[in-house]
């Protein structure tokens, strides 16, 4: 096992993911719990994550000293590098010259981390995000790479197998980063890579069985890939102790509820109950414009409906959800972790404090594309696994401004046409996620010989690997023109269409 100590970076889970890709199991613990975890797990290597703090602030987080004294290989990333430097006897200061985003590392010396990819004298692109910098190295450490803002961009002590790097190797914007982490795990720490998604599945099943015992589980099935994979996994683990419930909250895409029911009942034979809660949700959301309140309201009602259904089934103790890691990290300050809340994802942050069911979330550690691999492992068909992600709060967060039944209906129609055009153009699989957004503004148009005053529809499409970062999809103008024409012609209530060309960051994928 590789132990990853989390100092609150938004991308810590990507480190775990890269280590998994190198075929090695890893566990993430917040720095406050790291000492106990280190003693319990006895890891073969430790990685210290980045984080928002500065080592120069009093009371800023530290790694437990035992990590540096136990003789295991250690890799410090960004803040992890800084705290390693300071804890080993070096010094750091906060710097005026902050580096964010793309930077270049100048390789100074051969280093096992660079094995098979970087040679002295070369420059390589990396992704930086830091404010502090190293002033003096701890004894026994030497420099392997520099950057413009960081003369100690890569340092280490090969004898003790401890390395620190200023940039983030875990993000895709450091093109050789995955290989660098692989080198740390395989070459520096000498750990063999024999872990796989099949092994993950077995372990997940075991964990579910342990957690659930002989209890009953109900699963919030939405028809999306995540909840479907979660349901199949739990079904494999505990069989008929599982009942799936699909809540039609009136915020789904066109025909979605009916399609999902058909598929799961007919093809998978999973016990599935369809709850019609459209009025309950839409009445509660009527006129609501605040994104966080929308999410919280939906989260609260969701749980209420589930508790009622659970009672009807004679009391289930567990509620299963297909929560993924990006949902967790972006809500993590809610659960007391060290990073900042961007959105309260309804399946994590909206849960009322006193919920009567315990959560089963077998996908909490995974990213979307890993869930797809797991889905294949569980026998789900390709076309289903390839479906675009759809958020729990559904169309509510694609309808900025006050929600009304009418606007939801307009949005649903526009979205269906947009996706239909994408499929017909053969673009569906090239796009990670595409959807329409109905803007709360009306603009003037002319149709036939008359004046129109109707809503604006925005088209969103992004490419992404994991939902954490995303690029807007570069459409051909003729495609956009055709889709816009169809939407305006066929949907009453929309007379103008615009395309969203924002990437993430600085935007998020959804509009709310
Ligand atoms: P953002 O908008 O944060 O979205 O860039 C990243 C990915 O997460 C999806 N998303 C959600 N999924 N419950 C979910 O199950 C939610 O509350 C939620 N909010 C966003 C979003 O569609 C995108 O794929």
Give the CATH number, domain containing residue 418. Answer: 3.30.300.10
The most confident of the ranges 5-9, 306-310, 316-320, 386-390 is 5-9
Q: What is the mean pLDDT of residues 174-198?
A: 95
Residue nearest to atom 21 of ligand 1 (CA): 391
Co-location of 294 and 413 in the same domain: no
d(CA 364, CA 334): 15
Last residue of a domain, one of 188, 205, 221: 188
| Contacts of residue 82, Cβ cutoff 8 Å, sequence gap at least 6 | 54, 55, 76, 92, 130, 132, 134, 164
Across residues 191-215, what is the average pLDDT?
93
pLDDT for the residue 342: 61
Do the beta carbons of residue 499 and residue 458 sit within 8 Å?
A: yes
For atom 12 of ligand 1, the residue with the nearest CA is 391
pLDDT > 90: what percent of the chain? 68
Number of domains in the chain: 3
Which of 96, 101, 13 has the alpha carbon at shortest distance from 338?
13
Do the domain assignments include residue 390?
A: no
Scanning 153-290, the segments in alpha helix (DSSP H) are 177-183, 197-212, 225-238, 256-262, 278-285
- The whole-number average pLDDT for the span 147-162 is 93
**Domain final residue, candidates 188, 219, 236:** 188
Specify whether 68 is located in the same domain as 118. Answer: yes
Average pLDDT over residues 281-285: 98
pLDDT band at 194 (very low <50, low <70, confident <90, very high): confident
Phi and psi at 257, nearest 5°, equal -60, -50
Range with the poorest average pLDDT among 77-91, 281-295, 366-380, 473-487: 366-380
Predicted local distance difference test score (pLDDT) of residue 334:
33
Full domain range(s) for residue 467: 404-499
Q: Which residues line ligand 1 (CB under 6 A)?
A: 326-327, 330, 343, 345-347, 389, 391-393, 433, 467, 504, 508-510
Q: Specify if 509 maps to a domain.
A: no
Is 512 part of a structural domain of the chain?
no
**What Cα–Cα distance (Å) separates residue 318 from each residue in 136, 273, 324, 345, 361?**
53, 16, 18, 20, 10
Residue 60 token pair: 């800023």
- Together in a domain, 257 and 349: yes
Q: For residue 229, what are the CA distances in angstroms to 223, 343, 348, 390?
A: 10, 24, 18, 14
Q: Is 239 left (phi over 0), alpha (psi -120 to 50) or beta?
A: left
399 domain residue, yes or no: no
Phi, psi (rounded to 5 degrees) for 129: -160, 85
pTM above 0.90, yes or no: no
What ligand 1 atom has the least distance to the C-alpha of 507?
5
ipTM for the predicted complex: 0.97
Calculate what percentage of the chain has a pLDDT beyond 70.
Answer: 94
Lowest-pLDDT choice from 86-90, 205-209, 298-302, 410-414:
298-302
Q: How far is the CA of 345 from the centre of ligand 1 (A)?
A: 7
CA of 433 to the centre of ligand 1 (A): 10
Average pLDDT for 42-46 = 97
Domain identity same for 217 and 350: yes
The CATH number given to whatever domain includes residue 47 is: 3.40.50.880
Does the pLDDT of residue 348 top 80, yes or no?
A: no
Query: Among 385, 418, 436, where does a domain finish?
Result: 385
| C-alpha span between 351 and 301 (Å, rounded) | 9
Do 161 and 302 lie in a common domain?
Answer: no
Task: Give the Å distance between the CA of 511 and the centre of ligand 1.
Answer: 10
φ and ψ at residue 109, rounded to 5 degrees: -155, 155
Please give the pLDDT value at position 327.
Answer: 73
Average confidence (pLDDT) over 42-62: 94
Instruction: List residues bridging with 2 in a β-sheet.
Output: 26, 45
- Residue 336 maps to which CATH number? 3.40.50.620
Residue 449 burial (CB count, 10 A): 5
pLDDT recorded at residue 155 = 97
Q: Which of 71-75, 131-135, 337-341, 342-346 has the lowest mean pLDDT?
A: 337-341
Mean pLDDT of the chain: 90
Task: Identify whether 510 is part of a domain.
Answer: no
Exposure of 443 in the CB half-sphere (CA atoms within 13 A): 11
The torsion angle over the Cα atoms of residues 27, 28, 29 and 35, rounded to 10 degrees, is 50
Do 420 and 306 share a domain, yes or no? Answer: no
**Mean local confidence (pLDDT), 454-483:** 95
Alpha-carbon distances, residue 442 vs 199, 454, 499 (angstroms): 53, 5, 16
Q: Is 244 a catalytic residue?
A: no
Do 290 and 142 reside in the same domain of the chain? no
Residue 336 has what pLDDT? 41
* Domain shared by 243 and 135, yes or no: no
Calculate how far, in angstroms, residue 441's C-alpha sits from the geometric centre of ligand 1.
24
Contact 99, 128 (CB under 8 A): yes
Biggest alpha carbon distance in the chain? 81
CA distances (Å), origin 198, targets 23, 57, 182, 233, 371: 11, 44, 20, 12, 12
The answer to whether the beta carbons of residues 337 and 30 sit under 8 Å apart is: yes
396 domain-assigned = no
The reply to whether 276 and 224 lie within a common domain is: yes
**Do 184 and 201 belong together in one domain?**
no
Residue nearest to atom 14 of ligand 1 (CA): 391
Work out the pLDDT band at 349, boundaries 50, 70, 90: very low
User: 263 or 451: which carries more pLDDT confidence?
Assistant: 451
Residues in the annotated binding site for ATP: 222-228
Let me know the angle formed at the C-alpha of 446 by 442 and 450, rounded to the nearest 5 degrees. Answer: 110
Helices and strands in the chain: count of H runs, count of E runs: 15, 18
- Same domain assignment for residues 336 and 474: no
Kindly state whether residues 479 and 336 are assigned to the same domain: no
Query: What confidence tier does 392 reach under pLDDT thresholds 50, 70, 90?
Result: confident
ω before 505 within 30° of 0 (cis)?
Answer: yes
118 — pLDDT class (breaks 50, 70, 90): very high
Active site residue 219: no
Please identify which of the residues 170, 361, 365, 454 carries the catalytic annotation. Answer: 170
State the burial class of residue 364 (Cβ atoms within 10 Å of its Cβ: 0-12, 13-18, 19+).
middle
Q: Is residue 434 part of a domain?
A: yes
Average pLDDT for residues 176-203, to the nearest whole number?
94
Query: Who contacts 316 (Cβ-Cβ below 8 Å, separation ≥6)?
Result: 215, 216, 217, 218, 243, 310, 357
Domain assignment present for residue 507? The answer is: no
Give the tens place of pLDDT for each residue, 402-440: 999 999 999 999 999 999 999 999 999 999 999 999 999
């Amino acid at each position: 096992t590789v132990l990853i100590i989390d100092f609150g970076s938004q991308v810590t889970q990507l480190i775990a993911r890269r280590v998994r890709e190198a075929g090695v199991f890893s566990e993430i613990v917040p720095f406050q719990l790291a000492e106990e975890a280190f003693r319990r797990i006895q890891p073969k290597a430790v990685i210290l994550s980045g984080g928002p703090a500065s080592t120069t602030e009093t009371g800023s987080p530290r790694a437990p000293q035992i990590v540096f004294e136990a003789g295991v290989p250690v890799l410090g990333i960004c803040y992890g590098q800084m705290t390693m430097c300071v804890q080993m006897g070096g010094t750091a200061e906060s710097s005026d010259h902050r580096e964010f985003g793309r930077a270049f590392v100048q390789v100074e010396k051969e280093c096992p981390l660079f094995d098979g990819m970087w040679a002295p004298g070369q420059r390589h692109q990396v992704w930086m995000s830091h404010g502090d910098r190293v002033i003096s190295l701890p004894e026994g450490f030497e420099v392997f790479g520099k950057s413009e803002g960081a003369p100690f961009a890569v340092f280490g002590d090969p004898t003790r197998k401890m390395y620190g790097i200023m940039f983030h190797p875990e993000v895709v914007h450091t093109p050789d980063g995955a290989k660098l982490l692989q080198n740390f795990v395989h070459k520096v720490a000498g750990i063999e890579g024999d872990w796989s998604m099949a092994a993950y599945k077995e372990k997940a099943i075991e964990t579910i069985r342990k957690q659930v015992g002989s209890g009953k589980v109900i699963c919030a099935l939405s028809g999306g890939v995540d909840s479907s994979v979660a349901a199949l996994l739990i079904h494999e683990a505990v069989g008929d102790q599982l009942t799936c419930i699909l809540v039609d909250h009136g915020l789904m895409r066109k025909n979605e509820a009916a399609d999902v029911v058909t598929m799961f009942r007919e093809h998978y034979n999973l016990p599935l109950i369809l709850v019609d809660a459209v009025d309950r949700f839409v009445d509660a959301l009527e006129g609501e414009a605040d994104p966080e309140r929308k999410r919280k309201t939906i989260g609260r009602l969701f749980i209420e409906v589930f508790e009622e259904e659970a009672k009807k089934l004679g009391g289930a103790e567990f509620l299963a959800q297909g929560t993924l890691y990006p949902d967790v990290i972006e809500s993590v300050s809610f659960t007391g972790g060290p990073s900042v809340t961007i959105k309260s994802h309804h399946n994590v942050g909206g849960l009322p404090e006193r919920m009567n069911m315990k959560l089963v979330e077998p996908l909490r550690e995974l990213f979307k594309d890993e869930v797809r691999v797991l889905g294949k492992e569980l026998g789900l068909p390709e076309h289903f696994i390839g479906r675009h992600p759809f958020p729990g709060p559904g169309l509510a967060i694609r309808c900025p401004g006050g929600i009304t039944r009418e606007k939801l209906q307009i949005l649903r129609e526009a979205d269906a046409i947009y996706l239909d055009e994408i499929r017909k153009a053969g673009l569906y699989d090239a796009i990670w996620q595409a959807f329409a957004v109905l803007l709360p503004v009306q603009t003037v148009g002319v149709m036939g010989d008359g004046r129109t005053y109707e809503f604006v529809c925005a088209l969103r499409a992004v490419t992404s690997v994991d939902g954490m970062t995303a690029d807007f999809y570069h459409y051909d103008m003729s495609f956009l023109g055709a889709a816009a024409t169809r939407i305006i012609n066929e949907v009453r209530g929309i007379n103008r269409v615009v395309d969203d060309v924002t990437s993430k960051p600085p935007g998020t994928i959804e509009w709310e």
